[in-house]
Structure 1
Amino acid sequence: MSALGKEVVEVLARRRAGGPLSITVDEVDKILSGLGVPLGGTKAVPVPLRATRMYFSGTKWLKPDHPDAHGHALVDVADLPEWIRPVVDKRSAGAVSAGHGEASEVDEQAGPRARVPFHFEWSPQPGVNGIGSGRNLRGKSTLLNVLMWSLTGRCPQFQNDVRSWIEHVEVDWKVGVERLRVEFDAVDGVAAGQVIRIMEADSDARSTVLGQFDGADFEGVMGSLMMTRLRLENIPVWTDTAARVHAWPAYSSSFVVRANQLDPIVGNEQTIGLRMMQMFIGTDWAPVQAAAMTARRGMDTARDAAKDKAQAAGEAVEASRRAAEKQVQDVRTKIGKLPAETPDMQLVLDAATRASDLAREVHKLEAKLIAQTSLAGTARQQLKAVKARVHTSYEDALAARFFHHMRPSVCPRCAAQVTPERQAAEPDKHECSVCTSELNLKALQSDVIVAASVPDELVAGLVARTSGSDGEDPDAEEGPLDEVEAAQAAVAAAEAAVAELTAEIATLTTERDEAAARVEVGSALLSAASERRVLELDLARAEGALGALTRSSDPATVDPVDPVHLAVVEAAEQVLKKWVKNDQDPMLVQISADIERLTQSFGADNLSGFALSGGANMTLRENGVKQTYSGLTAGEKLRVKIATAIALIQHGYVEGIGRHPGFLVLDSPSAEEMPEEDLATMVRALRDVAGEAEMQIFVATRNAAPLVDLLPQANRVVAEGNAYVW
């Protein structure tokens, strides 16, 4: 039975107003263990971490005119290894990366390069170690990057050329009393090597391989080796959707303070600043509290997800219900628009038969009408011809009468005079008074003047046509008149037949259209009846769906969390919060005082009244006015962040508790509004603190003078003027 389990049982019992609770301490322990919550706190004892030796080597590929290229063999870019050729091809060797000259333009032209081998070796000391140069970009950051590369297993952000230059790295670390060497070969930032433990006995040194890596597994190897040796525990946290465990990358990143990364106040991971502070302070129950809070947040997330799912399901049911209601209403509306009558199929069939018969009859009559119309046209043409012929005969008779009774006085051709004597001699001489032709005596008796040479049938016609001029009735000529009347009678009969057929067709057409209309109405009613049956089936289905949705209740929320488990973990979180606070608050008072003292010793004497809270928030006074860490300037934040890191290290050293290994890297602190005298004050204060507490601090800065003045030769690597650090 655990102490935590006992306290949880008591808390649960009090929540039940003193009533009995059917859960035991063993059951609580089992629940907590199942949720990943440790049952006991762990004593945090700091394990020192120190870098004792640093070595790296490789090859620089420099342009021939570079100062460091003199005396070295030239190699054409085409002859370089393939993996380095693009880097050399596209970057001038004079480009400043982590420390070799001013930045230059891209050099796209291939050409010879000087092959300049290099190596660097240094043995950092306990306390404060300085890395400085007279100018920026002289290789200071490269040393820190190589150091952290070997510690974290993650390649830092080298410049491309420097990353490609480094070919071999060896860094010796002292972890507590154990000596480890991290050695690896690198190809353009990809490391392959091993971690060995070096044991010295008398004058002999033996080594044991602890882990090997090749590329991406470097970080995992370092994490597994360092977490256990430094007695660091995983930091579980709950993100938006899942639990996440922070381990070696989060811890190792907190060992570095950079001027461009000042939030949060502890470490460099904003989401775990609180947890990182608790781990470094060293309260026994801090890791357990983190695990309990993570478990509870996981349950809350599961509950919220279940509620959201149920709500979404309820909204889906309601949407389906509304859709079903609309569908029922739409179908009813469609049914209401249909005619209510039911068609008489026999009447519809009779009407269809009648319409078909009438259509055939109309077709036959139309054929007769076409033929009769043609006959009427022919009769009219014949009547017209008879009339024309009769008219011509009548005109001929009139002309004959006219011309044969003429007594011309002049020849119509030669204009010679026709004398009266010649005209009077016609009956006696039997000659035409105009042309002197012999006359037909028989015709002359009828007063028809015609030459004897004219055929008899023509003479008879002329006599007949001219005889009417003597006052006889024209109606006596029955022949022509009978022919016209007969033609007119034929036309009238034909037109009467056409009219009769037209009237009969019109009557039958009307009857046919009426029958067809009755068929169309019946068909429409039949179609409507069929549609009604389909819609009535649709209505039945829609009403059934609506009835099912109406009877069903909204989906209930199924709680995915065991309420007993939730009650246990909430009670555990409450207990652990109190225990951590009770252990932590007195420590925070002392740590806050140390932060104030250190910050003021770094030159920020306008800041006072520091109070580091259990939530990893900082309040203070700036010139007597209330202020927070987030409201400080970048330079003030830098001083306070460094002071906080050192105060945590001091706390672990003095109290013998905590988890900070006492290893700290300060990268370019003078970059944030820190004049040289303030940097000197900080270095002096750091040196004094390192003398009081066991720690190793690396300071990289462009202001090299304070390092030279305040640090021993063995504790510094300084390049003065335009020189390079390596």
Structure 2
Amino acid sequence: MSVLGNEVVGILAKRRKGGPLVLSVEEVDEILRGLGVPLLGTKAVPVPLRATRIHFKGTKWLDPRRAEAQGCPLVDAADLPVWVRLAEDNRTPLMGSASAGAAPETDQPAGTKARVPFQFEWSPQPGVNGIGSGRNLRGKSTLLNVLMWSLTGRCPQFQNDVRGWIEHVEVGWQVGAEQLRVEFDAVNGVATGRVVSVTEVASVARTTVLGQFDGADFEGVMGSLMMTRLRLENIPVWADTAARVHAWPAYSSSFVVRANQLDPIVGNEQTIGVRMMQMFIGTDWAPVQAAAMTARRGMETARAAAKDKAQAAGEAIEASRKAAAKAVQDVQTKIADLPTETPDMRVMLEAANHASDLSREVHRLEGRLIAQQSLAETTRQQLKAVKARAHTRYEDALAARFFHHMRPSVCPRCAAQVTPERQAAEPDKHECSVCASDLNLEALQSDVIVAASVPHEIAAGLIAETSRDDSEDDGAGEEPRDEIEAAQAAVTAAETAVAGLTTEIAELTRQRDAAAARAEAGGELLAAASDRRTLELDLARAEGALAALTQSSNPRAVDPVDSVELAVVDAAEQVLKKWVKKDQGPMLVQISADIERLTRSFGADNLSGFTLNGAANMALLENGVDQSYSGLTDGEKLRVKIATAIALIRHGYVEGIGRHPGFLVLDSPSAEEMPLEDFDIMVKALQDVAAEAKMQIFVATRNAAPLVEHLPKANRVVAEGNSYVW
């Protein structure tokens, strides 16, 4: 029987909502075990973690114009490693490449690189270790990245060229009393190697392989080895809709404080800031509380998901009800729009037959109409021709009469005078007074002037025309008029026949259309009757579906959570929350005081009244005004975050509790608005804290002067001027 189970039984027995729940301690323990909640708290004892040796080597591929490359062998572009060629193709600048105009022109072929081997080795010491340089981009962060690469198993964010330069790494670690060595070869950031335990027997080093890795499994190997040796426990949390377990990556990331990553105040994982703080403070029941909270949130999420599912199903049924009701209404509307008359089949068929007969008669008459219209057109053309011939004869007669009765006074050709004597002599001399040609005596008797040389037929015709003209003048010549009148009568008769046929066709068409309309109306009524039968069937089906949906009730949520289990884990969380708060309350007071002392020693004299609460939130005063951690400037945040990390470590080591291994990396702390004098104060303060709490702290900065002034030579690696750290 567990203490936790006994407390839970007491709470359940006093429960008001839902009535008391009577369970035995054994039953409660069984339920908690089944939910993955430990029954006992674990005493947290810090295990020291220290880096004892850093060694890495490789090859730099530099521009031949750089001073560092002088005297080194040159390699043509085609013989360069693949990653170097890719960097050149993508125009990726290599670290430390000469700036434009800074180096003299050379006659080296484009793409040629100098092969510069390098190696670095350093044995960091306990306490504060400094890495400095006179300028940026001189390899400080690379050294820290190599250190953390060997610890976490995850390749950091190197520059592309530097990641490819590093070919072999060896880092020695002391974990408690055990010596470990992480050694691996690297190809453009992909590590292959092993972790060995090193022991000395009679001054002879012996190694035992603890784990091997090849690429992606490096992080898993380091996590499994370090979590057990540092006595760190998994941190279960509920994120969104699933339980997640944070382990070595979350812990190892909290060992590093970077100037560009200041939230949250504890660690670097926003979602587990509270859990990380509880783990490092060393509260015995913190891991159990995390497990209980994760189990309870999982149950609540499952219950909420079931409720949402039932609600969605109910909404779907309601939507189906509305759709069914609308379908009934739509069918009823369509039925109401149909005509109510019943078609008379006999009348409809008689009208259809009559319309058919009339159509045939119209067709026949239309044929006759076409023939009659053609005949009328022909008679009109004939009338036009008769009139044209009569007109021509009339004009010819007028011309003959005009010209033969002319008495010209001059010759139309030579303009010689035609004397009256010559004109008077025509009947006697029988010759033309104009051309002196002999005249036709027979024609002359008819008062027709024509030469004797003109053929007889023409002369006779002229005589006849003249005679006809005279007779016409006397009212004779009825034949042409008869011909025209006959043609006109034919035209009138034809047009009368056309008009009669047109009238008859129009009447028959009207009768046919009326009969067809009667037949069509009957057909529409027949179709409407058919549609009505179909719609009535549809209405019956729609009403049946609506009735079924109306009678059915909305689905109820099937609770996937055992209410007894939820009650047990909820009660356990209440107990654990109270225990954790009771244990960490006094500790948080001490830690808050340490944070304030350290922050002020780092140069932030304007900050005071620090209070770190159980939710990992920081309240404080800034110049006497209430402030929070999130409201501070980045420079102030950096000081407070470093102070918080050190206070948690110091608390654990001074009190002999907690889970922080006392290893801390500060990357470029002076980058955030920290004057040189404040950084100098911070270095001295870090030395005091490290000596008191037996920590190992790495500080990388461009302000190297405080490192040289305050740190022993063995505790620092400093590149002065334009030099490089490695």
The TM-score range, normalised by the shorter chain, is 0.7 to 0.9
- Counterpart Cα distance in 1 of 2:614 and 2:583: 11
1:481-500 paired onto structure 2 within 5 Å: none
How far does the alpha carbon of each residue in 1:412-460 deviate from its partner, in whole angstroms, 9 at most, with x for none? x9999999xx9xxxxxxxxxxxx99799xxxxxxxxxxxxxx99xx9xx
Q: Larger deviation: 551-560 or 511-520? A: 551-560
8 A contact 2:95–2:161 mirrored in 1: no
1:375-524 paired onto structure 2 within 5 Å: 504-524=504-524
The letter of the residue matching 2:691 is: G
1:73-112 paired onto structure 2 within 5 Å: 73-87=73-87, 90=91, 95=96, 110-112=110-112
- Counterpart Cα distance in 2 of 1:530 and 1:598: 94
1:133-148 paired onto structure 2 within 5 Å: 133-148=133-148
- Counterpart Cα distance in 1 of 2:482 and 2:674: 145
Q: Secondary structure at the match of 1:60?
A: strand
Q: Larger deviation: 305-314 or 195-204? A: 305-314
CA displacement at 1:679 relative to structure 2: 2.3
Aligned pair in 2 of structure 1 residues 178, 360: CA closer, same or farther (>3 Å)?
A: same
How far does the alpha carbon of each residue in 1:68-112 deviate from its partner, in whole angstroms, 9 at most, with x for none? 22333233333222233334674566627xxxx879999997344
Task: Find out whether 1:675 has 2:675 as its counterpart.
Answer: yes
- Aligned residue in 2 for 1:712: 712
Aligned pair in 2 of structure 1 residues 589, 491: CA closer, same or farther (>3 Å)?
A: closer
Q: Larger deviation: 304-313 or 605-614? A: 304-313
Aligned pair in 2 of structure 1 residues 368, 20: CA closer, same or farther (>3 Å)?
A: closer
Q: Secondary structure at the match of 1:83?
A: helix
Aligned pair in 2 of structure 1 residues 608, 485: CA closer, same or farther (>3 Å)?
A: closer
How far does the alpha carbon of each residue in 1:159-187 deviate from its partner, in whole angstroms, 9 at most, with x for none? 22222211111001011111110000111
- Aligned residue in 2 for 1:603: 603
- Counterpart Cα distance in 2 of 1:437 and 1:318: 127
The letter of the residue matching 1:217 is: D
CA displacement at 1:489 relative to structure 2: 9.5
- Aligned residue in 2 for 1:170: 170
- Counterpart Cα distance in 1 of 2:386 and 2:92: 120
CA displacement at 1:483 relative to structure 2: 11
Aligned pair in 2 of structure 1 residues 116, 352: CA closer, same or farther (>3 Å)?
A: same
8 A contact 2:95–2:162 mirrored in 1: no
- Aligned residue in 1 for 2:247: 247
CA displacement at 1:502 relative to structure 2: 5.5
- Counterpart Cα distance in 1 of 2:673 and 2:497: 125
- Aligned residue in 2 for 1:592: 592
- Aligned residue in 2 for 1:401: none
- Aligned residue in 1 for 2:451: none
CA displacement at 1:569 relative to structure 2: 1.7
Q: Larger deviation: 383-392 or 588-597? A: 383-392
8 A contact 1:94–1:104 mirrored in 2: no
How far does the alpha carbon of each residue in 1:9-57 deviate from its partner, in whole angstroms, 9 at most, with x for none? 2212111479653433333223322322222211111111111111111
8 A contact 2:129–2:697 mirrored in 1: yes
8 A contact 2:259–2:667 mirrored in 1: yes
- Aligned residue in 1 for 2:63: 63
- Counterpart Cα distance in 1 of 2:546 and 2:239: 43
Aligned pair in 2 of structure 1 residues 75, 342: CA closer, same or farther (>3 Å)?
A: same
8 A contact 2:42–2:284 mirrored in 1: yes
- Counterpart Cα distance in 2 of 1:81 and 1:310: 61
Aligned pair in 2 of structure 1 residues 210, 417: CA closer, same or farther (>3 Å)?
A: closer
8 A contact 1:102–1:137 mirrored in 2: no
1:319-338 paired onto structure 2 within 5 Å: 319-338=319-338
How far does the alpha carbon of each residue in 1:189-242 deviate from its partner, in whole angstroms, 9 at most, with x for none? 111111011121122222111111111111111111101111111111111222
Q: Secondary structure at the match of 1:120?
A: strand
CA displacement at 1:506 relative to structure 2: 4.6
8 A contact 1:348–1:519 mirrored in 2: yes
How far does the alpha carbon of each residue in 1:640-673 deviate from its partner, in whole angstroms, 9 at most, with x for none? 2222111211211122111000111112222223
- Counterpart Cα distance in 2 of 1:386 and 1:191: 120
Q: Larger deviation: 377-386 or 256-265? A: 377-386
- Counterpart Cα distance in 1 of 2:217 and 2:122: 27
Q: Secondary structure at the match of 2:359?
A: helix
Name the % identity.
76
8 A contact 1:342–1:529 mirrored in 2: yes
Q: Secondary structure at the match of 1:84?
A: helix
How far does the alpha carbon of each residue in 1:320-351 deviate from its partner, in whole angstroms, 9 at most, with x for none? 33333333333322322222112112221111
Task: Find out whether 1:655 has 2:655 as its counterpart.
Answer: yes
- Aligned residue in 2 for 1:357: 357
CA displacement at 1:486 relative to structure 2: 10
The letter of the residue matching 2:21 is: L
- Counterpart Cα distance in 1 of 2:496 and 2:570: 114
Aligned pair in 2 of structure 1 residues 35, 491: CA closer, same or farther (>3 Å)?
A: same
- Counterpart Cα distance in 2 of 1:566 and 1:301: 12
In structure 2, stretches of 5+ residues that fail to align are: 395-417, 428-438, 444-455
- Counterpart Cα distance in 2 of 1:255 and 1:487: 127
Aligned pair in 2 of structure 1 residues 380, 164: CA closer, same or farther (>3 Å)?
A: closer
The letter of the residue matching 1:202 is: A
- Aligned residue in 1 for 2:536: 536
8 A contact 2:13–2:22 mirrored in 1: no
The letter of the residue matching 2:123 is: S
CA displacement at 1:478 relative to structure 2: 13
The letter of the residue matching 1:134 is: G
1:265-344 paired onto structure 2 within 5 Å: 265-344=265-344
Give the TM-score taking structure 1 as reference length: 0.82
- Aligned residue in 1 for 2:644: 644
- Counterpart Cα distance in 2 of 1:564 and 1:546: 40
Task: Find out whether 1:188 has 2:179 as its counterpart.
Answer: no
Larger Rg over CA atoms:
1
Aligned pair in 2 of structure 1 residues 103, 578: CA closer, same or farther (>3 Å)?
A: farther
Aligned length, in residue pairs? 699
The letter of the residue matching 1:637 is: K
The letter of the residue matching 2:77 is: V
Q: Secondary structure at the match of 1:603?
A: coil
Give the root-mean-square deviation of aligned CA atoms. Answer: 4.8
- Counterpart Cα distance in 1 of 2:134 and 2:385: 136
CA displacement at 1:530 relative to structure 2: 2.6
- Counterpart Cα distance in 1 of 2:73 and 2:376: 126
- Aligned residue in 2 for 1:72: 72
8 A contact 2:49–2:174 mirrored in 1: yes
- Aligned residue in 2 for 1:154: 154
Give the TM-score taking structure 2 as reference length: 0.82
Aligned pair in 2 of structure 1 residues 24, 375: CA closer, same or farther (>3 Å)?
A: same
Q: Larger deviation: 312-321 or 679-688? A: 312-321
The letter of the residue matching 2:320 is: S
- Counterpart Cα distance in 2 of 1:375 and 1:146: 116
- Counterpart Cα distance in 2 of 1:74 and 1:382: 116
In structure 1, stretches of 5+ residues that fail to align are: 395-412, 423-434, 440-453
Aligned pair in 2 of structure 1 residues 386, 637: CA closer, same or farther (>3 Å)?
A: closer
CA displacement at 1:368 relative to structure 2: 4.3
1:115-130 paired onto structure 2 within 5 Å: 115-130=115-130
- Aligned residue in 2 for 1:227: 227
Q: Secondary structure at the match of 2:709?
A: helix
The letter of the residue matching 2:632 is: L
Aligned pair in 2 of structure 1 residues 266, 80: CA closer, same or farther (>3 Å)?
A: same
Q: Larger deviation: 498-507 or 155-164? A: 498-507
- Aligned residue in 1 for 2:12: 12
- Counterpart Cα distance in 1 of 2:165 and 2:159: 10
- Aligned residue in 2 for 1:545: 545
- Counterpart Cα distance in 2 of 1:417 and 1:180: 165
Aligned pair in 2 of structure 1 residues 335, 713: CA closer, same or farther (>3 Å)?
A: same
- Counterpart Cα distance in 2 of 1:43 and 1:509: 112
8 A contact 1:61–1:88 mirrored in 2: no
- Aligned residue in 1 for 2:612: 612
- Counterpart Cα distance in 1 of 2:377 and 2:609: 130
Q: Larger deviation: 610-619 or 22-31? A: 22-31
The letter of the residue matching 2:610 is: F
- Aligned residue in 2 for 1:113: 113
How far does the alpha carbon of each residue in 1:659-704 deviate from its partner, in whole angstroms, 9 at most, with x for none? 0001111122222233333223222222222222222111222222
- Counterpart Cα distance in 1 of 2:599 and 2:114: 48
Aligned pair in 2 of structure 1 residues 275, 161: CA closer, same or farther (>3 Å)?
A: same
The letter of the residue matching 2:254 is: S
- Aligned residue in 2 for 1:259: 259
